[in-house]
Structure 1
C-alpha cells in the first residue's frame, strides 16, 4: 500500500470515512460492499474479486463503487475485517475453560478458534500477510492472545513472539488443509491422511531405502494419529512456553 492507501484504509476500517463532496446520495454501506466481496472470495478466492465484480453484485456501476472504496486493496481490507470472526467468540469460549487450565487452556481455545476462522474463509490466509492496516477485529485477536499471557512473567516482546509462533502454527495447518482441498469437517481426508496414503504407496516399492520413515508410517497405520498436527504442535509450543513461564514466575506453570 502507498501512504495514501494507508490513510484510506485507516479511515475505512476505523471510520468514519470522509463524505464525498459531490455526487448522488450514498446508497450503499461499507458492510454491504464487504459482504459482497466475501461472497465472491469464499468460492473463488481473491483472484475472483475485482471492483467490477463487486459492483455487479451490488447492482451499481464501478464508478459508483469507487465513491465508497478507492480500490481493491482497500476493498480487501474491508473484506478481511468482515470475514474474521468476532474475537468475542474467544471470550465466550474462555468462560468454559477450567481455572486449572490457566493460560494454556486459554491459548488452546484461541488457536482452535483462529483455525476455524481460516477454515471458514481460506482466502484470509492470502489476505492477511505483509505490511497493511488491520481493523478492530483483527487487532482484537492479537489482544486476546496477549491477554491470555498476562501475568506469566513474559516481556512484551516475548509475549508478542509467542503470539507470532502460535499464529504461524495455525496458519501452517490451515495452508496444508487449503492445499489438500479441505479441512476438518469438509468431508474429505485431512492433509496428513492424504500424505500418509501417498507415501504408503511409495513405501511398498521403495521402503527399503527409508526404513525409519517406513516404520513411522506403519505405526500410524496401526495406531492412528494422523491429522493431529494442530494439537500436537500446539501442545509442544505450549510446553516450551510453559518452561519459560515456570522460570519467570518461580516454578508456577500457570
Structure 2
C-alpha cells in the first residue's frame, strides 16, 4: 500500500479513502489489467473450440501481465471482469451433460494448465523456450548419466529427432479437452 501511495503521490492513509486494504487494491489491479473477457470469436464452434479460444486468450493475458499469476492464486476478492472469464469457460460447457461442479472443475483444470505453461515461459524470459532449455539441460545430464535413466534418455533422443520440443501447451490443452470429451460422451449415452 505504501509503494502504491508513493507512486500516486498521496499518503498511505489517503489511499485508504479509496480502497479498504491490500486485497481490494490487488483485485482492482487485476480487474484493470485483465479486463472483461473479450467478445467471443468462435460463435459457431462447439464447447471444445470455445475452450481452446478461451485458454489461448487467458494465456495471452498472463503473458502480458505476468504479475497476475501471483495475484490470482487462492481464495480472494474477484471483480466482474475476472468473473466474466470464469463465466465464459463455464458457459462453453452448457448443454454437455456436465454438472455445474464439473464445469467449474474443468475451468480450474484449464486455468492450471495455462498458469503452468505461462510460469515456465516467465522463468525463461521473453525470448526463452522452456522446453528447449530443459531439453538442453537434460541432454547434458543424460550424456553424463544416461545409463542410469534409460527411459528418459530414449524419450529425449526421440523428441530431439522429431523436433518434439515446445509442444507442452498444445499437447496439454488437447489432452485436457480429450478427457472432457470422454466424460461428456459418457454422460450423453
Interval of TM-score (by shorter of Structure 1 and Structure 2): over 0.9
* Superposition deviation, residue 74 in structure 1: 1.8
Q: Deviations over 1:42-75 (max 9, x none)?
A: xxxxxxxxx2222222222323222112222221
Q: Contact 1:108–1:234 at 8 Å: present in 2 too?
A: yes
Q: Deviations over 1:135-175 (max 9, x none)?
A: 00111111001111011111111111111111111111112
Q: Which residue of 2 aligns with 1:104?
A: 48
Q: Contact 2:121–2:128 at 8 Å: present in 1 too?
A: no
Is 1:118 aligned to 2:62, yes or no? yes
Q: Which residue of 2 aligns with 1:9?
A: none
Q: For 2:60 and 2:135, locate their aligned partners in 1 and report how far apart those are by CA, in whole Å.
A: 24
Aligned length: 189
Is 1:75 aligned to 2:31, yes or no? no
Rg larger for: 1
Q: For 1:76 and 1:164, locate their aligned partners in 2 and report how far apart those are by CA, in whole Å.
A: 21
Q: Contact 2:36–2:81 at 8 Å: present in 1 too?
A: yes
Q: For 2:13 and 2:56, locate their aligned partners in 1 and report how far apart those are by CA, in whole Å.
A: 41
Q: Which residue of 2 aligns with 1:3?
A: none
Q: Which residue of 2 aligns with 1:237?
A: 176
Q: Deviations over 1:10-59 (max 9, x none)?
A: xxxxxxxxxxxxxxxxxxxxxxxxxxxxxxxxxxxxxxxxx222222222
Unaligned runs of 5+ in 2: none
Q: Secondary structure at the match of 2:46?
A: helix
Deviates more, 1:160-169 or 1:51-60: 51-60
Residues 197, 85 of structure 1: alpha-carbon distance in 2 compared, 3 angstrom cutoff: farther
Q: Contact 1:192–1:226 at 8 Å: present in 2 too?
A: yes
Q: Which has the higher contact order (CA 8 A, sep 6+)?
A: 2
Q: Contact 2:55–2:114 at 8 Å: present in 1 too?
A: yes
Q: For 2:22 and 2:28, locate their aligned partners in 1 and report how far apart those are by CA, in whole Å.
A: 10
Q: Deviations over 1:103-131 (max 9, x none)?
A: 11110011111111111111111111122
TM-score by length of 1: 0.70
* Superposition deviation, residue 82 in structure 1: 0.9
Q: Which residue of 2 aligns with 1:88?
A: 38
Is 1:138 aligned to 2:82, yes or no? yes
Deviates more, 1:108-117 or 1:123-132: 123-132
Q: For 2:11 and 2:18, locate their aligned partners in 1 and report how far apart those are by CA, in whole Å.
A: 12
Equivalent position to 1:204, from 143, 148, 152:
143
Q: For 1:85 and 1:119, locate their aligned partners in 2 and report how far apart those are by CA, in whole Å.
A: 14
Q: For 1:191 and 1:158, locate their aligned partners in 2 and report how far apart those are by CA, in whole Å.
A: 31
Q: For 2:136 and 2:35, locate their aligned partners in 1 and report how far apart those are by CA, in whole Å.
A: 34
CA RMSD, Structure 1 to Structure 2 (Å): 1.5
Spell out structure 1 runs of 4+ moving beyond 3 A: none
